[in-house]
């Protein structure tokens, strides 16, 4: 069990630092080196819009997070209210199940501390090209045999209530992910297509096809499956076309997603037409205001963490 002692608040967003010993933090700039991405990896991300197979969690850490997920059914309604969104089944197919929740870091110690996983923080710093804040986290879990799809989409289509587009997604598997149990797929280089409209997340896998050009449709032939062992991550660009098929295998496919943003990201709610979706989200403040409250903690401060080493660290 991962315990955090002497916490006064049940709302873990009151803690802008790790609260347990689950992730050992580097104690010097030198200790960050072991997590650094190479220049080749950064180049790959830039060209293709994603970078996969980055180890973030060891077995013990995966087990702790999965135990917290297993205990979710017993969580009090009071605590569940800390989630920004909680859908036991978001699948539009009545025969399938897709658990999707946003904001789990506010009520589960392990998921809170995951935000400070050093391998995640270093890679995200390099791929974002600077200091960054938490935007939000997400859980996407497909049970064995009848796990639902996540339809092809671009993340930023859903996030236009913030600007500029300076976001990064990190998908971390909590089960070994393969084609059979519904792993993530990408269309390499699709981050250069420009922004597409929302066409639905959990119903028709191919709904997005209606808004694509002939060339973009042809690019789908190059789609690539991101098969990875549990504890490994794939990072992607906010305009990356991605999705995942159903799970009819006899294994579950659970994942946690960390969404980060640049430190000067502002609220862009003036013309946002889906404000109802944000009703339980942290306050977005006034239109044009920097997102700056306890729910958007700064996760990496390069001057503080890296000091003089900062000059040697490749970023995008």
Ligand X SMILES: O=C(O)CCC(=O)C(=O)O
Chain residues binding ligand X by CB under 6 A are: 140, 150, 155, 169, 171, 184, 242, 244, 255, 257
CB of 214 to ligand X, least distance (A): 25
The residue among 115 and 255 lying less far from ligand X, judged by its C-beta, is: 255
Which candidate, 192, 180, 146, 153, places its Cα nearest to that of 169? 153
Report the alpha-carbon distance of residue 191 to residue 171 in Å, rounded: 16
What's phi and psi for 291, nearest 5 deg?
-70, 105
Q: Is 141 helix (H, G, I), strand (E, B) or coil?
A: strand
- Structural contact between residues 222 and 188, judged by C-beta atoms closer than 8 angstroms: yes
DSSP state of 289: -
Looking at beta carbons only, is 36 or 52 nearer to ligand X? 52
Please say which residue, 177 or 306, places its beta carbon nearer to ligand X: 177
In angstroms, what is the minimal distance from the CB of 3 to ligand X? Answer: 28
Nearer to ligand X, 64 or 150 (CB): 150
CB 204 within 8 A of CB 160: no
First to last CA, the chain: 38
Q: Taking phi first (over 0 means left), then psi (-120 to 50 degrees means alpha), and beta for anything else, what does residue 184 get?
A: beta
Closest separation in Å from C-beta 256 to ligand X? 9
Closest approach of ligand X to the CB of residue 173, in Å: 9
* CB of residue 142 to ligand X, shortest distance in Å: 7
For ligand X, the closer CB: 19 or 139 = 139
């Amino acid at each position: 069990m991962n315990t955090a002692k002497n916490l006064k608040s049940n709302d873990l967003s009151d803690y802008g630092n790790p609260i347990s010993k689950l992730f050992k933090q580097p104690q010097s700039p030198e200790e960050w080196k072991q997590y650094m991405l190479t220049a080749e990896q950064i180049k790959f991300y830039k060209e293709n819009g994603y970078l996969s197979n980055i180890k973030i969690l060891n077995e013990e850490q995966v087990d702790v997070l999965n135990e917290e997920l297993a205990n979710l059914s017993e969580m009090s309604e009071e605590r569940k209210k800390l989630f920004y969104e909680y859908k036991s089944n978001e699948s539009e197919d009545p025969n399938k199940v897709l658990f999707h929740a946003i904001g789990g870091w506010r009520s589960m110690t392990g998921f809170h501390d995951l935000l400070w996983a050093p391998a995640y923080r270093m890679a995200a710093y390099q791929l974002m090209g600077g200091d960054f804040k938490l935007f939000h986290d997400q859980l996407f879990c497909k049970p064995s045999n009848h796990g639902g799809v996540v339809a092809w989409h671009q993340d930023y289509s859903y996030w236009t209530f913030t600007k500029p587009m300076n976001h990064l997604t990190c998908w971390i598997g909590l089960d070994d992910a393969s084609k059979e149990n519904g792993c993530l797929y990408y269309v390499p280089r699709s981050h250069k297509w420009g922004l597409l409209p929302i066409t639905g997340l959990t119903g028709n896998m191919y709904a997005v096809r209606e808004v694509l050009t002939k060339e973009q449709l042809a690019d789908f032939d190059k789609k690539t499956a991101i098969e990875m062992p549990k504890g490994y991550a794939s990072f992607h660009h906010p305009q990356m076309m991605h999705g995942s098929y159903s799970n009819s295998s006899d294994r579950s496919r659970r994942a946690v997603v960390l969404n980060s943003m640049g430190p000067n990201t502002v609220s862009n709610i003036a013309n946002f037409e889906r404000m109802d979706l944000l009703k339980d989200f942290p306050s977005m403040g006034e239109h044009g205001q920097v997102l700056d409250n306890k729910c958007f903690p700064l996760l990496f401060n390069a001057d503080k963490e890296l000091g003089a080493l900062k000059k040697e660290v490749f970023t995008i």
